[in-house]
């Protein structure tokens, strides 16, 4: 049993560290997206043709705002690692780092952000980014579950949402996520962690709860607006579809060997939507998943404009 565990651990570590494997998986996932786009091109064309331009623009704007708002928890986690910056600067740093998620490997956002901050503490920046990523996965998955529960019991959904967010916020405020991120980083490196421990000031649970809820609501509003712009789903179907998108986003993030969860999110969204009995044909579901990916790409292309001026004029982030 110990031999099997050691073999599995070594295999997973090699998979996570192999740039070649990640690149191959990324290309394969990209090919899958292209195949889906071609296979269901008629449904995708119909969605785009009948879409509301104003709602599409609003969805993209809300998506960019949601990315900016990830600076709220990111700033709080940076403080836990002894790096103190203002929220406005943290928000711009998060926007600037969006383009790095398309590059195999998980350190490039930290490298870019550390450069823009003007600090050599890449380790602390990396861990704060991991903290924020785990935090966002927890908050968005919690809201996704609440969107599914609301059809069974409204008060139950509210109770779940309050309890879940309070628990995540409490754990975050005590720097437990920071310790988990440090442990994960050490495990991936295959050695004891040499990164900076979480020794900075603790932020209140209320700050984490407020930041997480604000981001989750805006992020979900972006998704719902996109669905309203392109489909004729009723309120219940919108809720199920939005929940499927949120949970698929989380699962895609867990697929760390594939950049941006490419292909994983799309397939997961289709599977979840069918499992939850969303009244839509697979052609529509595939088209919606691809359109969501395209909307995200547009958001990232727009926010990429932050990177160049930020590097050329670092004061733009101050």
**CA angle 91–94–97, rounded 5-degree value:** 150
How much is the average pLDDT of 162-178? Answer: 86
pLDDT at residue 45 in the model: 72
Contact at 8 Å (CB) between 177 and 272? Answer: no
Show Cβ contacts of residue 95 under 8 Å, excluding neighbours closer than 6 positions: 64, 67, 68, 303, 306
Q: Helix, strand, coil % (nearest 5) of the chain?
A: 80, 0, 20
Q: What is the mean pLDDT of residues 135-158?
A: 93
pTM attached to this predicted model: 0.78
**Region 77-91 average pLDDT:** 85
What pLDDT shows up at residue 194? 45
Does pLDDT of 291 surpass 90?
A: no
Which secondary-structure segment (H or E) carries 158?
helix 154-173
Q: What is the rounded distance in angstroms from the CA atom of residue 237 to the CA atom of residue 233?
A: 5
Give the lowest-confidence range in 199-203, 253-257, 272-276.
Answer: 199-203
Between 263 and 213, the more confident residue is 213
What average pLDDT does this structure show over 225-251?
Answer: 92
Mean of the per-residue pLDDT values of the chain: 77
213 contact partners, CB below 8 Å, separation of at least 6: 139, 165
> Helix (H, G, I), strand (E, B), or coil: what is residue 89?
helix
Q: What is the DSSP string of 40-101?
A: THHHHHHHHHT--HHHHHHHHHHHHHHHHHTHHHHHHHHHHTT----HHHHHHHHHHGGGGG
DSSP symbol at 204: P
Q: Is pLDDT above 70 for 107?
A: no
Percent of the chain with pLDDT over 70: 64
Helix (H, G, I), strand (E, B) or coil at 251: helix
pLDDT at 8 (0 to 100): 39
End-to-end CA distance of the chain: 54
Name the band, by pLDDT with cuts 50, 70 and 90, for residue 185.
Answer: low
pLDDT value for 176: 72
55: Cβ–Cβ under 8 A, 6 or more apart, which residues?
225, 226, 228, 229
For residue 112, what are the CA distances in angstroms to 80, 123, 135, 180, 300? 20, 12, 21, 23, 16
Q: Does 213 or 100 have the greater pLDDT score?
A: 213
Burial 260-286 (b: 16+ CB within 10 A, else e): bbbbbbbbbbbebbeebebebeeebbb
Q: Using pLDDT thresholds of 50, 70 and 90, give the confidence band for residue 7.
A: very low
Contact 133, 107 (CB under 8 A): no
For the residues 91-101, what does the mean pLDDT come to? Answer: 79
Residue-level length of the chain: 318
Q: What pLDDT is stored for residue 65 in this prediction?
A: 94
List pLDDT tens digits, range 17-44: 455 555 555 555 556 666 666 666 776 6
Greater model confidence, 104 or 92: 92
CB 74 within 8 A of CB 93: yes
Which segment of 21-25, 253-257, 278-282 scores lowest on mean pLDDT?
A: 21-25
CA dist., res. 66 & res. 52, Å (int): 21
């Amino acid at each position: 049993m110990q031999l099997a565990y050691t073999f599995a651990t070594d295999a997973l570590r090699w998979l996570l560290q192999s740039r070649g494997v990640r690149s191959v998986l990324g290309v394969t996932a990209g090919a899958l997206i292209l195949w889906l786009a071609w296979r269901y091109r008629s449904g995708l064309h119909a969605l785009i043709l009948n879409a509301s331009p104003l709602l599409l623009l609003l969805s993209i704007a809300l998506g960019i705002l949601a990315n900016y708002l990830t600076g709220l928890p990111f700033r709080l986690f940076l403080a836990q690692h002894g790096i103190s910056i203002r929220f406005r600067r943290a928000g711009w740093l998060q926007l600037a780092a969006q383009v790095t998620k398309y590059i195999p490997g998980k350190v490039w956002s930290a490298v870019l952000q550390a450069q823009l901050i003007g600090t050599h503490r890449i380790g602390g920046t990396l861990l704060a980014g991991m903290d924020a990523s785990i935090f966002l996965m927890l908050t968005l998955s919690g809201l996704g579950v609440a969107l599914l529960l609301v059809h069974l019991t409204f008060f139950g959904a509210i109770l779940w949402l309050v309890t879940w967010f309070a628990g995540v916020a409490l754990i975050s405020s005590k720097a437990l996520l920071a310790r988990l991120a440090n442990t994960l980083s050490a495990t991936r490196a295959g050695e004891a962690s040499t990164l900076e421990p979480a020794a900075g000031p603790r932020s209140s649970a209320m700050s984490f709860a407020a930041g997480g809820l604000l981001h989750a609501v805006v992020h979900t509003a972006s998704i719902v607006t996109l669905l309203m712009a392109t489909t004729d789903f009723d309120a219940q179907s919108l809720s199920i579809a939005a929940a499927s998108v949120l949970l698929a986003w989380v699962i895609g993030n867990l697929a760390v060997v594939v950049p941006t969860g490419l292909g994983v999110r799309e397939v997961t969204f289709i599977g979840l939507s069918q499992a939850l009995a969303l009244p839509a044909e697979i052609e529509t579901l595939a088209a919606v998943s691809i359109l969501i990916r395209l909307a995200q790409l547009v958001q990232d292309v727009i926010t990429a404009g932050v990177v160049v001026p930020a590097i050329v004029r670092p004061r733009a982030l101050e």
